[in-house]
A and B are shown apart, each in its own frame.
Chain A
Amino acid sequence: MITLECASLKGFLDCASLAISGGRACVVLTETEFEKNLILRIFTGLTRLDSGKIFIFGKEISSFSYSELNAARKGMGIVLNNGGLISNLKVWENIMLPLSYHSSSHHDMDEKMISILGKIGYDDDIAVLPGPLPAYKKRLAGFARAMLMEPDLIIYDSVFEGLSPDIRSKVLETITAFQRQKEGRASLFLDMDGRLPDYIRADSTYILKKGKFYERN
């Protein structure tokens, strides 16, 4: 799904390598939020490497044009820590945005959205702007938005941060169920919390230290 080969970025990555294969749940732990955000930007092609290679869905994206990158991003779902919702769109418009932008057929989209919202336990009004919603609700809406696209790879950016144990286990249940829904779907958790691999039972855990990824057993 995502492979880094001797990836270097000045002051950040120093010939770092990493492989996240399909059907697996992986955790990448960083020491700072800045590093975590930069990794997310590299994986989504927003920040280009100085040297080395990055493969997404088996294709080397360093030389990709902007439209090729956008096409590759369609296969990824990103659930950002703050939800990544657009503040001038209502919650339901936010959830539908990528699907209605990329898909020409708008048939039964609403039903699909309502069904996903029910599954993840979003019980708030969706006809409001996201500004006043608590961070957890924004994250859930971001999750619904990513799920609606049926991605092959889904990246979770500190999604468990600040959640009570009850809600955390409910979210984890939904994430696990979503991963199992499609064969080969991979989940990547970017986080700074060292306890994360214990409760999500990840297949592999990488730690970023001094510009390199180290696999933790």
Chain B
Amino acid sequence: MKAKRITESILDTILYLSGLFNLILNAFKNLPSLRIRPVRTVFFRQIYFAGIETLGKMVIIGLLIGIVIISQITSLVGVGRGELIGKILVWVVIRELGPLFAAIVVIARSVTAISAELGSMNVQGEIASIEMMGIDPERYLIMPRITALTLSAVMLTFYFELAAILGGIIVTSLFWGIPFEQHTKGILTSLTIPELSASLVKSLLFGLVISAVSCFQGLKVSGSITKIPQATTKATMQSLFFVFIFDGIITFIFFL
């Protein structure tokens, strides 16, 4: 009995993962559909909602995080070691915090919105209505969401990292009197291709997996409107889970 349950749960997980993989794969295949005007409109709306509207808050969070990190490092290693401070700042912000914070903000803002929206569309028969018009929901609803959320995650990561590093440098230069050039030297020597690629790969993967999970959970809602909150909770928790798993895996591949 127990073995049967374990087998069933493994099979469910495999099916779920293959479902996510298929959504992402189909989104890539359907990329040329961005030429279609209504698809492009959905794409730009998602970019605006997930990326542009979040940008201001993301920059403020980045600045604050940069200040906090640099204050802690300076207290730890002392004021005269600007190069080391710059290096640690790059390691912490570019390798880890940038992609992670951007992913968490995207999850908080867009996962619930997308899963609830798609779930409600499914329950109200709107997705069937779209199909009856000869429109493929994977092209019209899913692909623009996956693409836009992924691009937004990459864009937010970049701005977060920029704000955090600039914020950190400005604060230490102003309050501790560490010369600007010392930091810049430390940052530039630490900013290697692996650091930047790890950040890019992480934010890309996080964006893909977050968007696929939220679309998948939204599309799974059927029958009753009461299932929508369950789907949004599931989507949020699973997105967080996948983000941390992938974060560990990528860090391991790149830096260990």
Instruction: Point out residues on A near B: beta carbons under 8 Å.
Output: 40-41, 44, 46, 66-67, 69-74, 76, 78, 80, 82, 84-88, 93, 97-98, 100-102, 106, 145, 149
A101 touches B125 (CB 8 A): no
Are A101 and B132 CB-contacts (below 8 A) given A86-B126, A87-B120?
Answer: no
| CB-based nearest B residue for A146 | B133
Cβ–Cβ contact A66 & B136, under 8 A:
yes
Fill in one digit per residue for B36-49: 1 if any A CB lies within 8 Å of its CB, else 0. Answer: 11110100000000
A71 to B136, CA, bound (A): 10
B9 within 8 A of A: no
Within B123-160, the residues touching A (CB, 8 Å) are 124-126, 128-136, 140
Can you name 16 extra interface pairs (CB under 8 A) apart from A40-B132, A74-B134? Answer: A66-B136, A67-B136, A69-B134, A73-B132, A78-B129, A78-B133, A80-B125, A82-B125, A86-B130, A93-B41, A100-B37, A101-B36, A101-B37, A101-B133, A106-B37, A145-B133
Chain A residues in 8 Å Cβ range of B131:
44, 46, 70, 73
Question: Is A98 within 8 A of B37, CB to CB?
Answer: no
Pair A84/B135 contact, Cβ less than 8 Å: no
Q: CB within 8 A of B121: which of A46, A73, A86, A100?
A: A86
Tell me which of B120, B125, B134 has the highest count of chain A C-beta atoms within 10 A of its own C-beta.
B134
Q: How far is the CA of A78 from the CA of B120 in the complex (A)?
A: 21
The B interface is mostly helix, strand or loop, or mixed, namely helix
What is the chain B residue whose CB lies nearest that of A43?
Answer: B132
Question: How distant is the Cα of A72 from the Cα of B133 in the complex, in angstroms?
Answer: 10
Tell me the smallest distance from the CB of B130 to a CB of chain A, in Å: 7
B96 is an interface residue with CB less than 8 A from chain A: no
- Measuring CB to CB, which residues of chain B are less than 8 angstroms from any residue of chain A? 36-39, 41, 117, 120-121, 124-126, 128-136, 140
From B38, B125, B131, B132, name the one whose CB has the most chain A CB atoms within 10 angstroms. B132
Residues of B within 8 A of A102 (CB): 134
A selection of 24 A-B contacts at a CB cut-off of 8 Å is A44-B131, A46-B128, A46-B131, A46-B132, A70-B134, A73-B134, A78-B129, A84-B125, A84-B129, A86-B129, A87-B121, A88-B117, A88-B121, A93-B41, A97-B38, A97-B133, A97-B135, A98-B133, A101-B38, A101-B39, A101-B140, A106-B37, A145-B133, A149-B133
Provide the residues of chain B in CB contact with A101, threshold 8 Å. 36-39, 133, 135, 140
Contact of A100 among B38, B117, B130 (CB under 8 A): B38
**Chain A, Cβ-Cβ closest to B45:** A88
Neighbouring B residues of A67 by C-beta, 8 Å: 136
Residues of A within 8 A of B38 (CB): 93, 97, 100-101
Could you tell me the distance between the alpha carbons of A87 and B124 in the complex, rounded to whole angstroms?
9
How far, in angstroms, from A87 to B131 measured CA to CA in the complex? 15
Q: Given A100-B37, A101-B38, does the pair A70, B135 have CB atoms closer than 8 Å?
A: yes
Give A41 to B131 CA distance when docked, in angstroms: 10
Cα A69 to Cα B137 in complex, Å, equals: 13
> Which residues on A sit within 8 Å (CB–CB) of B41?
93
Q: How far is the CB of B174 from chain A (nearest CB, A)?
A: 46
Point out the residues of chain B lying under 8 angstroms from A88, CB to CB.
Answer: 117, 121
Select which of B37, B120, B126, B136 is within 8 A of A70 by beta carbon. B136
How far is it, in angstroms, between the C-alpha of A87 and the C-alpha of B129 when the chains are bound? Answer: 11
| Residues of chain B with a CB closer than 8 A to A93's CB | 38, 41
A106 contacts across to B, CB distance below 8 A: 37
Nearest CB in chain B to that of A157: its residue? B132
Q: Which residues of B contact A76 (CB under 8 A)?
A: 132, 134
Question: Which residues on A sit within 8 Å (CB–CB) of B140?
Answer: 101
The answer for the CA separation of A73 and B128 in the assembled complex, in Å, is 12
Q: How far is the CA of A29 from the CA of B39 in the complex (A)?
A: 37
When distances are taken between beta carbons in the complex, the residues of chain A under 8 Å from B132 are: 40, 44, 46, 73, 76, 78, 80, 84
